[in-house]
Chains A and B, each alone.
Chain A
């Protein structure tokens, strides 16, 4: 019997956590070539975990009632035993901060370290979305800047005024991201320095746009009335920050803060399946490696496998526990499947994935992790095997028909369609209504016109007047919203007039 076990008890101590971390780091780095940020593991109590939940997991965050709402909700559910807390929260920062709950057993701590500190961490460092959209070096500093700035604004302009503004900004948060243009990372210090200049500059710029001085008549005649903005703008918050006529400098700064935060979280929303799948795959692989090396015993493995199986459980659509596809289950299955295709390809795999079948699995997985997001990942790498294992089927629900069609199931005719449909399901731009700034009536009543470009004839939900109220609060003048079909036909128009708030 091997006497090299790292531990035989389920109580953790700082020494054993460090011992596990050392071994896991060694395996991750040397054996599986995972490239990570340095780790900072923080042990916290369960109530601190609830705090972390309430501020979207960030170590510092500005105050807002909605986080209080999340907090009381979590608190209620947790204290009634209706939900357990996550075992860990990990933050995309450098060093990568991972929270571990003190209630966890030693096995769970090891699992969490492998999952968060080496799985998620390497994903944050490697994936192209995170690399180009987030700045791990500066995020904590930036949030500190944001917290202080907003606290200052509350002192100066009143909590109420700031709260109303944040409400509106949060409502538009998903429309505060440039989907195609890649932002340039700025360090927090530079950000704070630039903030004042920007405030003044923008204010002048705006005044220029709404110049009230009479222009020379000659010029007016020669220039055609230009559309403003020249092209549709998808980043509503950015457009508002730069162009809303009535916002004060500090208000623009807060819009900007919310926009930056939205941008920071944008990659996470697009890589849920991949990110969780990647982390789950690695904790599974690394802990099994620990066992193979004789560093942990069977008891450890039993406990680990119990939690692991719970995490990757996928209830069927007709189960009462079903609430959509479990990203852990799907992601883990696909990562594992890619390894299988590399190591033991079947004839089918060779037909479907000629370029990866039989290749080195570590570098193939690394390539996948770096260059894909959920939508493209599924479209590219979901094998018929996975579709069979999950018994996937696709439905088409059309309000012009009174039945729902089964369009594809896991058979030869269905694989491709099934895969495309599922991939679309993870495409944020087809899941969220596509709303863009179409024009501003700069010569007239300064009203803002938004276009909702319809997709598959899907209308907006009924509470979109509520949303227009928020847009109106930021813009300050009338807001029009038109739902537009692909052929340019206006299907429905919404209008919020001034003074009707």
Chain B
């Protein structure tokens, strides 16, 4: 007779440890696959998990096996036309085990690759591994909603609804033992003595003395209260200010005639990576899109990436607008501000001075980090030289990089947000 056991409620994820060990062991390969995926994938897809493909030879577990060659005999089913003594031409490419083995898969993935899924959070984990947001410390403490209540032990004072019963009773019991222990012991002795005397018929004096002591002891014990004021213990809660979980990201892009759709696509990838990265670190993110040619305007995402404009380039217009918006809507006390600017580097020569001023006065003092990428394979343009000076002065919050094409976005992004060791 069999026992039938329902194991469906047993813990799941029994293989979790093994899975993690596997991921750890092939950490490098997985990271490569992730960074491949970034340059291959559509941006809006970036938030999914992914199939990770590792060449099978990298993860094979070797055993002693026969190689090709020698003489081997094999039996197959399904003979239709062969008779004994037939000779069959060797199939091309195989001196191996005859037909049937090594057929290519039609699943789109070569049989030589080992494919498996990682989840979205694992994907982002690998994507942003070793990266850190600079200047995270400057999260401001503001407003009543950004407090959290934490338990903080026990207190002698408090309101009745906060009474901790266990602690209170424990303390009362300890007090009672401390105050009445001696008297209680004596009372036990006296009672025992009285019992003994009942049997032995003692003198009245002894008995009287004992009875007197007994009533004195009883009185003493009765005066010890069951619960006293200072037994009361209260749960203590403290309110801890919470760092602001809000961040705003400014995307600034040149849309003048010289910016081709390709360059914009590259910029978009960069912005998107930054957005995902911020999302990992902050609960709430707002994005402000500012585009500019000779004038700057705040637009929605669609217009930002896809509408076409022509004209010259005045970068300072965008920077001034960004500074204005910060002042108007995103108080640096409340918001963590990140700026990302993408451009092909063109600027009207006379404008550089104004850019410098706008950055130094209105932007850099207020932001956590400001990045600039220059896209294209031309020599560095005017803006680059200007920013190079600034990078030296504001190295903690200002960084610039050059990007040639899509495939460089991810490495450049890593470069910008590389975890820097704090040197004391």
Interface residues of A (CB under 8 A from B): 14, 17-18, 21-22, 25, 38-45, 47-48, 50-51, 54-55, 63-69, 71-73, 75-76, 79, 82, 95, 99, 102, 113, 117, 159, 163, 167, 170-171, 173-175, 314-320, 322-325, 390-400, 402-411, 413-414, 418, 421-422, 424-425, 432-433, 435, 452, 454-464, 466-467, 470
Contacts and interface: CB of A to CB of B under 8 A. Distances in A.
B85 interface: yes
B18 A65 contact: yes
A435 B63 CA distance: 12
Interface string B281-311: 0000000000000000000000000000000
B6 A47 contact: no
Given A395-B76, A399-B95, A458-B71, A18 B4 contact: yes
A406 B77 contact: no
B65 interface: yes
B203 interface: no
Interface in B51-96: 51, 59-80, 82-90, 95-96
Given A40-B3, A403-B87, A432-B64, A458 B72 contact: yes
Nearest to B116: A72
A218 to B, nearest CB: 44
Q: Which of B67, B68, B74, B89 is the most central at the interface, judged by chain A CB atoms within 10 Å of its CB?
A: B74
The 4 closest A-B pairs by CB, nearest first: A316-B78, A68-B22, A458-B70, A68-B18
- DSSP class of B's interface residues: helix, strand, loop or mixed? loop
Contacts of B74: 394-395, 397, 421, 425
B42 interface: no
A233 to B, nearest CB: 15
A163 B2 contact: no
B82 A396 contact: no
A250 B233 CA distance: 53
B230 to A, nearest CB: 47
A406 B84 CA distance: 5
Contacts of B2: 18, 21, 25, 38-41, 113, 117
Given A64-B21, A71-B18, A404-B98, A461 B67 contact: yes
B15 A317 contact: no
B25 A467 contact: no
Contacts of B89: 402-404
A174 B63 CA distance: 8
B64 A435 contact: yes
Contacts of B63: 171, 173-174, 467
Interface in B105-123: 107, 114-117
Contacts of B79: 317, 391-393, 409-410
Contacts of A424: 73
A460 B73 contact: no
A462 B97 CA distance: 16
Interface in B1-30: 1-8, 10, 12-15, 17-25
Contacts of B18: 54-55, 63-68, 71
A331 to B, nearest CB: 14
B65 A460 contact: yes
B69 A399 contact: yes
Contacts of A38: 1-3
Interface of B: 1-8, 10, 12-15, 17-25, 51, 59-80, 82-90, 95-100, 103, 107, 114-117
Given A65-B21, A397-B95, A75 B117 contact: yes
A458 B66 contact: yes
B86 A390 contact: no
A314 B77 contact: yes
A391 B103 CA distance: 22
Given A171-B62, A317-B99, 5 more contacts: A21-B1, A51-B13, A54-B18, A68-B18, A75-B116
A87 to B, nearest CB: 16
Contact of B5 (A40, A394, A433): A40
A11 B417 CA distance: 56
Given A48-B7, A421-B73, A76 B66 contact: no
Given A63-B17, A69-B59, A393 B82 contact: yes
Nearest to A323: B100
A399 B62 CA distance: 25
Contacts of B87: 403-406
A319 B82 contact: no
Contact of A462 (B51, B67, B73): B67
A408 B84 contact: yes
Given A55-B15, A68-B15, A395-B76, A44 B100 contact: no
Contacts of A425: 73-75
Given A64-B21, A76-B115, A456-B70, A41 B4 contact: yes
Given A320-B103, A403-B89, A170 B83 contact: no
Nearest to A174: B63
B229 to A, nearest CB: 51
B62 A68 contact: no
A9 to B, nearest CB: 18
B20 A68 contact: yes
Contacts of B60: 463
B73 A394 contact: yes
8 contacts: A41-B5, A64-B21, A75-B117, A418-B75, A421-B73, A425-B74, A433-B66, A460-B67
A345 to B, nearest CB: 24
A65 B22 CA distance: 4
B368 to A, nearest CB: 38
A410 B80 CA distance: 11
B143 to A, nearest CB: 44
A392 B15 CA distance: 42
Contacts of B78: 314-319, 322, 390-391
Contacts of A457: 69-71
Nearest to A425: B75
Nearest to A52: B14
Given A18-B4, A25-B1, A170-B61, A325 B84 contact: no
Nearest to A175: B64
Contacts of A55: 14-15, 18
Contacts of A461: 64-67
A47 B11 CA distance: 10
A430 to B, nearest CB: 10
A175 B65 CA distance: 12
B71 A398 contact: yes
Contacts of A72: 19, 22, 116-117
A218 B308 CA distance: 100
Contacts of B21: 63-65, 68, 159, 163
B192 to A, nearest CB: 54
A434 to B, nearest CB: 9
A272 to B, nearest CB: 15
Contact of A43 (B8, B19, B77, B107): B8
A405 B22 contact: no
Contact of A463 (B3, B62, B73): B62
A470 B4 contact: no
Contact of A44 (B7, B15, B88): B7
Given A397-B74, A399-B69, A65 B25 contact: yes
Contacts of A174: 63-64
B84 A102 contact: no
Contacts of A403: 87-90
Contacts of A390: 77-78
A64 B17 CA distance: 8
Q: Which of B2, B69, B88, B114 is the most central at the interface, judged by chain A CB atoms within 10 Å of its CB?
A: B2
A397 B64 contact: no
B95 to A, nearest CB: 5
B67 A456 contact: no
Q: Which of B1, B62, B83 is the most central at the interface, judged by chain A CB atoms within 10 Å of its CB?
A: B62
B197 to A, nearest CB: 63
Contacts of B114: 69, 73
A421 B74 CA distance: 7
B65 A69 contact: no
